[in-house]
Amino acid sequence: MKPNIGTKDRIARLLIGVVLISLALINKSTFMALAGLFSIYEALSSWCVFYQLLGRNTCPIKNPKKSFEWKETLIVGLRILIVAIVLNIFARFIGLSTWYDFLNAPTKVLSWDNYIFLFAVYPFLLGFVSKWKK
């Protein structure tokens, strides 16, 4: 998908998306939420299906970079998910608390090794996994 939305269009679509999602939460409207998500998607990807169909392009860059890569993002997300599951199993196996445990009882005082695992090791490993290249 070649970007076809300029900066002003992207900002407008992002604002419209936020407003629509806010209204969807207030009015409990699935349609508004989907429209808001679609608008935010367009803003983030710099691509509009309707502009594509109409042959319109407001992107000022003559040879724009590729837009948002769904396949690559899905692969990175799956890697992070798998590592998170493995880390949770490992934590349970050695007797550490997981994020699920922590969020269910946030006032419970944990041992120092639990805090190191939850706030240093866990995010570091997930961040490291996200940086793996093909």
At 132, is the pLDDT very low, low, confident or very high (cuts 50, 70, 90)? confident
pLDDT at site 134:
54
Specify whether 97 is located in the same domain as 123.
yes
Is 108 inside any structural domain?
Answer: yes
pLDDT at site 86:
92
CA distances from 15 to 24, 55, 86 (A): 14, 24, 38
- Annotate the chain with three-state secondary structure: CCCCCCHHHHHHHHHHHHHHHHHHHHHCCHHHHHHHHHHHHHHHHCCCHHHHHHCCCCCCCCCCCCCCCHHHHHHHHHHHHHHHHHHHHHHHHHCCCCHHHHHHCCCCCCCHHHHHHHHHHHHHHHHHHHCCCC
Specify whether 83 is located in the same domain as 41.
no
Specify whether 126 is located in the same domain as 82.
yes
pLDDT at site 42:
87
Query: Mind listing the pLDDT tens digit for each residue in 78-101?
Result: 889 999 999 999 999 999 999 888
Specify whether 74 is located in the same domain as 126.
yes
Is 85 inside any structural domain?
Answer: yes
Q: What is the four-CA torsion angle of 19, 23, 28, 34, rounded to 10 degrees?
A: -30
pLDDT at site 16:
94
Specify whether 110 is located in the same domain as 84.
yes
**Whether the predicted pLDDT of 133 surpasses 80:** no
Specify whether 44 is located in the same domain as 94.
no
Give the best-scoring range by mean pLDDT among 2-6, 13-17, 101-105: 13-17
Specify whether 80 is located in the same domain as 126.
yes
33 is in which domain, residue-wise? 7-54
Specify whether 98 is located in the same domain as 125.
yes
CA distances from 47 to 59, 78, 92 (A): 9, 25, 44
Is 1 inside any structural domain?
Answer: no
Query: Mind listing the pLDDT tens digit for each residue in 34-87?
Result: 999 999 988 888 888 888 788 878 877 666 556 667 777 888 888 899 999 999
Specify whether 27 is located in the same domain as 79.
no
Number of domains in the chain: 2
Residue closest to 47 by CA, chosen among 72, 31, 68:
68
Is 99 inside any structural domain?
Answer: yes
Specify whether 46 is located in the same domain as 93.
no
